[in-house]
């Protein structure tokens, strides 16, 4: 990875094209069609890539087919954004081939979360901003949804301010830095590879689903032992869902509190990011200010 300045894809205008790809898991076609209608109502042209609605085991297609869809979308000068229909598992199969594409020549917005964190890591390696946000299943809820409104505003070039409730375990402070993060299990699997997203001086956000508390704790200790927590500027603890208490911790938040107790960076808990209905869109690679306040209201402020 290099230290070049992050590049932001151009804002979308009316008539610009969004390509829908499924680089990981398969998805029901009606979900995609409903999301496409919402996007078209925003004034954008939408193309569903040839294998986006396919099926190959748990995947939307073979690795070759999924790569072909993304390559075509990245190579099409009319495509200004790539919406990943869903996560699942499978992006890692095609990372090396995607890395060989000249993505820097024509930066496009990549949209998604969960396993799409691996694609965000690729875009970060290329010094291109991307959007960690909900995908087709939520976009189909319509333009009136507040998270969809924020996502569409980002695509049009605006920068959001996210305000959310404080948590008892918060560590207060105000800090500015580059926002990076995503699904913790996916990011942990990329440590030590060319796609390692976990960089010093970041404001790090993390979330996950269906992971036992001890497995998340193990990843946190890997990060501690690597020295990462000695060098980040702040931590945003998103939603960790679908897990059970264990003999050592009643909940994920208390484990986090204990695992990072020896550090001084600001920490915001229970931030609405992750596998939940309210999943705020975050711009990977963007300069932000994180405010963890005693007032009971915290914020993430994006800067141009």
Average pLDDT of adjacent 10-residue blocks, the chain of 304 residues: 77 98 98 98 98 98 98 98 98 98 98 98 98 98 98 98 98 98 97 94 97 97 95 98 96 97 97 98 98 95 94
Global pTM reads 0.97
**pLDDT in the model for residue 304:** 84
Strands ordered across the beta sheet of 45-48: 45-48, 17-21, 79-84, 109-112, 130-132, 282-284
Q: What is the 3-state secondary structure (H, E, C) of the chain?
A: CCCCCCECCCCCCCCCEEEEECCCECCCHHHHHHHHHHHHHCCCEEEECCCCCCCECCECCCHHHHHHHHHHHHHCCCEEEEEECCCCCCHHHHHHHHHCCCHHHCCCEEEECHHHHHHHHHHHHCCECEEECCCHHHHCCCCCCHHHHHHHHHHCCCCCEEEEECCCCCECEEEEEEEEEEEHHHHHHCCCCCCCCCCCCEEEEEEEECCCHHHHHHHHHHHHHCCHHHCCCEEEEEEEECCCCCCCCCCHHHHHHHHCCCCCCCEECCCCCCCCCCCCCEEECCEEEEEECCCCEEEEEECC
**pLDDT in the model for residue 2:** 43
**pLDDT in the model for residue 4:** 67
The token duo for 197 is 């997203």
């Amino acid at each position: 990875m290099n230290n070049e300045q992050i590049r932001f894809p151009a804002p979308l205008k009316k008539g610009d094209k969004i390509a829908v790809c499924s680089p990981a898991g398969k998805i029901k076609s009606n979900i995609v069609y409903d999301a496409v209608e919402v996007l078209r109502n925003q004034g954008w042209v939408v193309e569903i890539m040839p294998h986006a609605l396919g099926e190959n085991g748990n995947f939307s297609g073979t690795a070759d087919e999924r790569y072909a869809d993304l390559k075509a979308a990245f190579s099409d000068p009319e495509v200004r954004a790539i919406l990943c229909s869903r996560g699942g598992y499978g992006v890692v199969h095609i990372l090396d081939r995607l890395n060989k594409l000249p993505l820097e020549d024509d930066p496009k917005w990549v949209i998604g979360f969960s396993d799409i964190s691996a694609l965000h890591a690729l875009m970060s390696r290329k010094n291109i901003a991307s959007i960690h946000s909900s995908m087709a299943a939520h976009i189909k809820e319509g333009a009136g949804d507040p998270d969809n409104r924020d996502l569409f505003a980002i695509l049009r070039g605006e920068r959001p301010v996210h305000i959310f409730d404080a948590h008892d375990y918060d560590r207060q402070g105000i800090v500015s830095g580059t926002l990076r993060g995503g699904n913790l299990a996916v990011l942990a699997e990329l440590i030590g590879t060319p796609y390692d997203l976990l960089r010093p001086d970041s404001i790090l956000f993390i979330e996950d689903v269906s992971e036992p508390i001890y497995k998340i704790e193990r990843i946190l200790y890997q990060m501690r032992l690597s020295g990462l927590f000695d060098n980040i500027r702040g931590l945003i603890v998103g939603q960790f869902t679908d897990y059970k208490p264990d003999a050592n911790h009643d909940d994920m938040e208390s484990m986090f509190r204990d695992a990072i107790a020896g550090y001084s960076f600001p920490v915001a808990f229970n931030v609405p990011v992750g596998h939940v209905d309210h999943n705020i869109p975050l711009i990977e690679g963007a300069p932000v200010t994180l405010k963890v306040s005693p007032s009971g209201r915290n914020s993430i402020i994006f800067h141009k």
